[in-house]
Structure 1
Amino acid sequence: MLAKVKEALEIVDLKPAEHFLERYPHQLSGGQRQRVLIARAVILKPSIIIADEAVSALDVSVKAGIINLLNTLRSELNIGYLFITHDLPVVKKVADFVYVMKSGQVVEKAPKSQLFSAPGTDYTRELLAAAPVPDPARAKDWIRSAS
């Protein structure tokens, strides 16, 4: 069993695994804690992982590392994700297909490329217009094109 735990820690880039076996959560960074949680999931060899706001509390660079890890695991271990988030830039990085919900109801579903380029509902357009865009000039263009 210990060998499987070490393998799972190595898969999520917690190396060397021995340095993490005896640590408590308060002794880990936020990114390391997320990686431990992902290791706990992958050790069971799932076909799908449900991730609810998996990167919402992480800073930008750590968030990028976790998203890259999830994408790598998707391709290397053939794992699918049900990614629940309000963070639209994250959706762009991890999703293939998107469901937009409002008040517990699905209001739109579409492939990611279609949803971001031609949203089908006013609610989705409002969500996309409200998402932060790093370049203010591009933000103005996005808001105009979304109307």
Structure 2
Amino acid sequence: MKTASIYKIPNKGYIVFGESKTVSGFRIASEPYFTISESEANVDIISNAIRASLCNDDNKRVPNPTDWKQSGKDFLKKIGLKAMKELDAHLNKYVTIAEDGSQITFTPSRPAEKPDKGFLHKDKSESVSINYRATNQEIIEALELAFSKCG
């Protein structure tokens, strides 16, 4: 299964990136990385970023990070942020994306309760699925429906 993530950040835009499975079996952010400002965001740019971010191959494993702190710094630099708290902000919306060769599934999340950070997936019944050959407009409609379900 191919996976990716997308964040919608108020007054900034979108951050989209692929995910790869490590040797140990967990997922980490991976190329390609897209930072799309609100002013340049449109159906085609966002949809094409989503499609490109789903280019990873789950059968190919990447090495586990050896230095988590440096890995986090590198990630922030690639997405154009200075601190994880910018990404973890409760006003942001976060959706995971999966493609299995027949469907693209958007799974909404909700912010973690303090003192925890980040986001937690909502129930799978909240997910939105479309055919993997969907048009760019259909992808955006499914994405916006998933964002509307974020907590």
TM range (shorter): under 0.3
Give the structure, 1 or 2, with the largest relative contact order (CA under 8 Å, sep 6 or more).
2
Q: Name whichever structure is richer in helix by fraction.
A: 1
* TM-score of the pair, normalised by structure 2: 0.24
Larger radius of gyration: 1
